[in-house]
A and B are shown apart, each in its own frame.
Chain A
């Protein structure tokens, strides 16, 4: 039993869990765990991307018409907003790494949250709500009747809109979860839980936030830009 006592007597940094040998092992385990989780996220979104690719190759015409119902300016703006939020998230972690004050970390985190919220506000007010009014949300009132200019592609336009709402909806859900995580991080930082020695929760939450950004980096061209936007496309 002597080793158990020795183990407990070790001076461990805050946040240390009993099952680990030392802080390095704990940090590596946490990071590997998060990456493994992100792999499951890749395949979770991947199921939808696979379906998207299959149908896009079968019904390209309808997908292009559907894509043109979306506003590039909002998609591009939101892409920029998310990239900014990734930068601020990276800087928040860097502040913790370099032992900056709590205030600095919290400022970067709050800035990240504001940018994330901006994304969601643009999504809801500028895109989904007008879409609802324009009857391009799939379902019984889709397009009232199919618009005549869609011709025979009309069913596939509806298919595209299914993808648009399912994919952006799932992405937005991840954004909301991300905002929740950031809120927890702000509270933890305020309670002085992190230091330049221990900031694993910040680091792995950052991985999650960047992952959500990456999903959008692919959604933007796939949903808004496919088939081109040039005249006659």
Chain B
């Protein structure tokens, strides 16, 4: 997508005013309405939340080194895995790519000066931070022990932990999601640059559009569900209480109506990132643009009708189980289409292996395994055996960590030069990507095996015969932790000492690469005019007017 006048600026050293140095001081950040600054503020908060969730995960894995628990009492272990799940899902993975890269890139990629509602965008950040505040307060006042799923009647009538405070935190953060999704949908509909038609949009935008639809359609349901749970807990009477004819499974229906699509909130943006990375580092137009674009929308829609596969063994009706099973198989198809199209994009490309591309390839590998093991859980008979075991834990970590997190890291590495204007040391980044990939597999592959052997999840203590596999998993986790720590160091280093990146260090296509790095506050020095399809690498030399 070269623009009509982009070639005018060739000066590689462009040290003029940008969004980072336009104003200084803490106030200039806290009251900013610039989507790029808000994106960075999200980045700071979710990195902090990721650290909390990561510490909880580390302590869990340490505890599981010994069957009787190496470190903590079962009560504490339960709080650790609940904290890990809640923080990672609601306060890291859900906002990860949309709120950071999405906020930063959507206006840049579609050629707009800002999102449609910049003040609302800032409000979303404050809501998110408030939600984080409540969550941290709940952790500091003891922590909850309900798991991230909050199933009643345990969470409503039996748990003695600050469930209401934690639920309130998620409720508030949920409104941040809703408003972000709303902002994105309106921005993508109404703010595109002249010539930026729907089918010229980068696939990252399609993916975030699909994600935003889930934000809008799904998040209100988790909000009302947790609201009802809170009422039940406060008044000791409520609509999930079996004593007055309530059905605890109804909570699960409402919960998974959001929480299954939420998985796709996490993975869809990563798929969008991977589409960008694969094309940029193989210098190829994406293979099957419209198939990838529409598979994102298909995933967003179908994700809402498969939730019952979380409930095959809960006493859900057999008939509903059959319906949800067949629907769950259907959602596998669009994901498969994406993987095949990415693979085909590499064909006859010019592939280079800089760090972001390593993350993208890692994503495809891990997501493929995660997706295929999903078939085991969509199949009713095998799900009966595997549901609630470590097999499920391994499966969704392959999707959420192997998939979503790899995509997030790949995206951060890809757009870091655009965000900061500086390059990081590529060799270190490649080493980190390799360590993450190896550590991840060491951690989670043994969990497939221990799951099939029958080890249930959320066990603070476990039968001794599962120890070897658990020790392997814990050892892998320490490798993984190293892999996550390295980028923090060199990315921080690069902000000050990295060499200047220039407008387009990767030779990538897309409007964001036509402007300065870092971009000016109003994004484009020259208003963009789009005259060609996305990823038009074959005509890189040609100028279109």
Contact = CB atoms under 8 A, between A and B. Distances in A.
A156 B244 contact: yes
Contacts of B218: 43
Contact of B244 (A3, A33, A37, A159): A159
Contacts, number: 118
Interface in B93-125: 112-118, 120
Contact of A36 (B185, B237, B239): B185
Interface in A117-170: 138-140, 142, 155-156, 158-159, 162-163, 166, 170
B250 A54 contact: yes
B321 to A, nearest CB: 17
A51 B217 contact: no
Contact of B224 (A37, A44, A58): A44
Interface in B208-256: 216-221, 223-225, 227-228, 231, 235-239, 243-247, 250, 253-254
A166 B228 contact: yes
Nearest to A162: B239
A32 interface: yes
A75 interface: no
B250 A41 contact: no
Given A138-B235, A155-B245, A159-B246, A48 B186 contact: no
Nearest to B184: A36
B532 interface: no
Given A51-B254, A55-B239, A32 B220 contact: no
Contacts of A159: 239, 244-246
Contacts of B244: 155-156, 158-159, 162
A170 B369 CA distance: 44
B239 A166 contact: yes
A140 B237 CA distance: 8
Given A36-B216, A40-B178, A45 B239 contact: no
Nearest to B238: A162
B245 A58 contact: yes
A1 interface: yes
Which of A19, A28, A32, A51 is most buried by chain B, counting CB atoms within 10 A of its CB?
A19
Contacts of B224: 43-48
Given A36-B216, A47-B224, A162-B238, A19 B191 contact: yes
Interface in A1-60: 1, 3-4, 17-20, 25, 28-29, 32-33, 36-37, 39-41, 43-48, 50-51, 54-55, 58-59
A162 B250 CA distance: 15
A62 interface: yes
A166 to B, nearest CB: 6
B190 A139 contact: no
B114 A19 contact: yes
A163 B228 CA distance: 10
Contacts of B527: 3
B189 interface: yes
Interface residues of A, number: 42
B182 A36 contact: yes
Contacts of B225: 47
A142 to B, nearest CB: 7
A58 B522 CA distance: 57
Interface in A90-142: 138-140, 142
Interface hub of B116, B244, B522, B525 (most chain A Cβ within 10 A): B244
Interface residues on chain B, size class: 35 or more
A17 B308 CA distance: 45
Contacts of A155: 243-245
Contacts of B245: 55, 58-59, 62, 155-156, 159
A45 to B, nearest CB: 7
Given A3-B527, A48-B224, A19 B113 contact: yes
A17 B237 CA distance: 48
A45 B254 CA distance: 12
B112 A19 contact: yes
B118 A19 contact: yes
A44 B220 contact: yes
A62 B223 CA distance: 27
Interface in B173-217: 178, 181-183, 185-186, 189-191, 216-217
Contacts of B219: 40
Given A44-B224, A45-B224, A59-B245, A4 B186 contact: no
B124 to A, nearest CB: 13
A1 B185 CA distance: 29
Interface centre among A39, A62, A162 (most CB of B within 10 A): A162
Contact of A28 (B190, B228, B239): B190
Contacts of A47: 220-221, 224-225, 228, 254, 257
B37 to A, nearest CB: 14
Nearest to B185: A36
Contacts of B113: 18-19
Contacts of A18: 113-114
A33 B116 contact: yes
B529 to A, nearest CB: 11
B167 to A, nearest CB: 14
Contact of B190 (A32, A41, A138, A166): A32
A51 B185 CA distance: 29
B254 A44 contact: no
A139 B238 CA distance: 9
A29 B220 contact: no
A17 B246 CA distance: 49
21 contacts: A3-B526, A18-B114, A19-B112, A25-B190, A29-B186, A32-B189, A32-B190, A33-B186, A36-B182, A37-B178, A40-B178, A41-B220, A44-B221, A46-B221, A47-B224, A51-B239, A138-B238, A140-B236, A155-B245, A159-B239, A159-B244
Shortest 8 CB-CB distances between A and B: which pairs?
A47-B224, A44-B220, A19-B114, A155-B244, A43-B220, A40-B220, A29-B190, A29-B116
Interface of A: 1, 3-4, 17-20, 25, 28-29, 32-33, 36-37, 39-41, 43-48, 50-51, 54-55, 58-59, 62, 138-140, 142, 155-156, 158-159, 162-163, 166, 170
Interface of B: 112-118, 120, 178, 181-183, 185-186, 189-191, 216-221, 223-225, 227-228, 231, 235-239, 243-247, 250, 253-254, 257, 522, 525-527
Given A33-B182, A50-B253, A159-B245, 11 more contacts: A18-B114, A29-B116, A29-B190, A36-B181, A36-B182, A36-B185, A43-B217, A50-B254, A51-B228, A62-B245, A155-B245
